[in-house]
């Protein structure tokens, strides 16, 4: 008879029920902490006006004072100094090497990823936790991961030993069936094979010369042979050479040669407890005095870097040395890239191998990606790369640490202008083939399996005549010439759509 859980339930059920509220409270605390850390959606400072209450006349005075102050002395929303990044042609990305700037860019908008982490740059935090755990680990105790490694090694050695014994057993059975090994000696051979080596091995300090017979180039120790027996024992001698048996009387007829055994170097004895403790204390003092150097930096994609430079104006990008991705030296101070230079540079390196010319086409891959990125960022979404799920972007409502991505964006170029239907326009198209229907269904099925909604982002590409600038490219006019259309695609399931 089953007993319902509750007052009459088992103690384990009561314990589980008591621990569930604790887990929920911990998750709630972690969520509140993440919301407080990532409260700002962008790395900008906002200055809101005070609230106005019609029932309180003083609030009107405060509102007027704040409005006049902002009009006369308008505070800036940008940080005191711009963030600095370095263009890397090898990785086709922008590197932010300052840990403070990297932390701010991640906490305010989730820009970039750590080079030594999956997303958030947390390598230094993990290393500090590992070193702290090693310092606080009690003597003679291992962590859970260490015990797991020990058990895995024990299981591996047990399997190897078991396979070896099974192989020997099969070989002995084969010899018994062939008549080379009597069945009554199987038990003894097993005992001789499984006999452990002696624990105490005397140290050899002198050279020893022994007369030993040589059989086929192999040296065997001398023995007293009497009619194929050892010292009158009833058991026959069965030496084995390369897996074959040799009768005992053949050994006596072989010539002997001196065997010289030189004494090896004595192994160092085990350390005492005092020596081990002193060595551990020395290692701890060295680790305390040596600070961990942060070897991780933030890696920005071209779209993220251009958004921070063009749309927000908080990032300055410098050309980096070819063989040095670390912060540039004080003597090397190149001029930062301008917005137009970055546009041409990113269009040049958006394809592999990089293009030789800097002529910008309307259907450049970087322009299409940035238009979609800028569009969803301006709507308040957090945009992250989506190659893991076979799409261009994943958009989050709060961020990767707040909730999972709700939508997956797939960019579809649309040549709707009349120019692209002319022979010259068809020849200048960069995207020659449209996506097949089976590619769309495969992508949609993947998104349905991971509980995401597929969004087709159609970007209407302008003609080259609309991009005919005189001397200087107007980035704002160029971006306004693109149009974005969104279509949500859902996978139809008959079982869920029945009346």
Q: Report the SS3 class of residue 212.
A: strand
Q: Decide if 248 contacts 228 (C-beta within 8 A).
A: yes
**Catalytic residue list:** 396, 404, 452
- Cα gap 212→255, rounded to integer Å: 9
Q: Report the SS3 class of residue 11.
A: helix
pLDDT in 10s for each residue of the chain, 499 residues:
444 444 444 444 555 555 566 778 888 888 888 888 888 989 988 878 788 888 888 888 888 888 888 888 888 888 888 899 999 998 999 999 999 999 999 999 999 999 999 888 989 888 888 887 777 665 555 556 667 778 899 999 999 999 999 999 999 888 888 887 665 555 555 544 444 444 444 444 444 444 444 444 444 444 444 444 444 444 444 444 444 444 444 444 444 444 444 444 444 555 565 666 666 666 655 555 567 888 899 999 999 999 999 999 999 999 976 544 444 443 445 689 999 999 999 999 988 888 877 778 888 899 999 999 999 999 999 999 999 999 999 999 989 988 899 999 999 999 988 888 888 888 888 776 677 888 899 999 999 999 999 999 999 999 876 666 655 678 888 899 999 999 999 887 777 766 5
- Cα gap 337→320, rounded to integer Å: 11
Strand ranges in 21-98 using DSSP code E only, listed in sequence order:
83-88, 93-96
Strand partners, 256: 213
pTM (predicted TM-score): 0.64
Structural domains for the chain? 76-121+296-359 (3.40.1170.20), 205-267 (no CATH), 365-499 (3.40.1350.10)
* Residue 89 phi, psi (nearest 5): -70, -25
- Cα gap 286→263, rounded to integer Å: 39
């Amino acid at each position: 008879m089953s007993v319902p859980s509750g007052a009459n339930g088992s103690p384990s059920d009561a314990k589980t029920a008591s621990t569930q509220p604790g887990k929920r409270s911990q998750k709630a605390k972690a969520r509140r902490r993440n919301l407080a850390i990532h409260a700002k959606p962008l790395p900008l400072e906002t200055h809101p006006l005070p609230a106005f209450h019609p029932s309180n006349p003083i609030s009107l005075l405060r509102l007027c004072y704040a409005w006049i102050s902002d009009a006369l002395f308008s505070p800036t929303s940008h940080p005191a100094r711009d963030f600095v990044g370095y263009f890397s042609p090898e990785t086709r990305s922008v590197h932010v090497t300052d840990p403070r700037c990297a932390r701010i860019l991640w906490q305010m908008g989730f820009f970039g990823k750590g080079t030594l982490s999956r997303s958030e740059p947390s390598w230094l935090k993990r290393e500090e936790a590992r070193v702290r755990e090693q310092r606080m680990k009690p003597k003679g105790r291992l962590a859970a991961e260490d015990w797991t490694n020990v058990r895995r090694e024990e299981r591996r050695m047990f399997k190897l030993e078991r396979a070896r014994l099974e192989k020997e057993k099969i070989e002995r059975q084969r010899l018994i069936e062939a008549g080379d090994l009597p069945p009554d000696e199987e038990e003894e051979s097993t005992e001789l094979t499984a006999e452990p080596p002696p624990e105490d091995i005397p140290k050899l300090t002198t050279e020893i010369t022994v007369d030993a017979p040589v059989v086929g180039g192999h040296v065997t120790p001398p023995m007293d042979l009497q009619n194929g027996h050892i010292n009158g024992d009833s058991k026959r001698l069965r030496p084995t050479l390369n897996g074959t048996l040799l009768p005992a009387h053949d050994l006596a007829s072989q010539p002997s040669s001196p065997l010289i055994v030189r004494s090896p170097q004595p192994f160092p004895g085990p350390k005492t407890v005092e020596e081990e403790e002193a060595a551990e204390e020395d290692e701890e003092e060295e680790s305390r005095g040596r600070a961990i150097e942060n070897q991780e930096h933030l890696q920005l994609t071209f779209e993220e870097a251009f958004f921070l430079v063009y749309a927000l104006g908080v990032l300055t990008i410098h050309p980096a040395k070819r063989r040095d991705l670390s912060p540039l030296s004080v003597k090397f101070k190149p001029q930062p890239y301008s917005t137009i230079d970055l546009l041409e540079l990113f269009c040049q390196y958006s394809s592999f191998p990089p293009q030789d010319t800097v002529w910008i086409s309307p259907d450049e891959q970087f322009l299409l990606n940035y238009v979609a990125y800028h569009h969803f960022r301006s709507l308040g979404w957090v945009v992250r790369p989506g190659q893991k799920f076979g799409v261009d972007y994943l958009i989050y409502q709060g961020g990767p640490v707040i909730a999972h991505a709700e939508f997956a964006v797939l960019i579809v170029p649309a040549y709707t202008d009349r120019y692209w239907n002319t022979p010259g326009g068809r020849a200048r198209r960069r995207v020659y083939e449209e996506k097949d229907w089976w590619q769309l269904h495969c992508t949609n099925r993947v998104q349905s399996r991971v509980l995401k909604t597929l969004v087709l982002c159609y970007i209407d590409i302008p003609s080259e005549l609309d991009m005919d600038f005189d001397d200087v490219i107007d980035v704002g006019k160029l971006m306004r010439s693109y149009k974005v259309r969104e279509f949500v695609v859902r996978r139809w399931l008959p079982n869920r759509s029945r009346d």
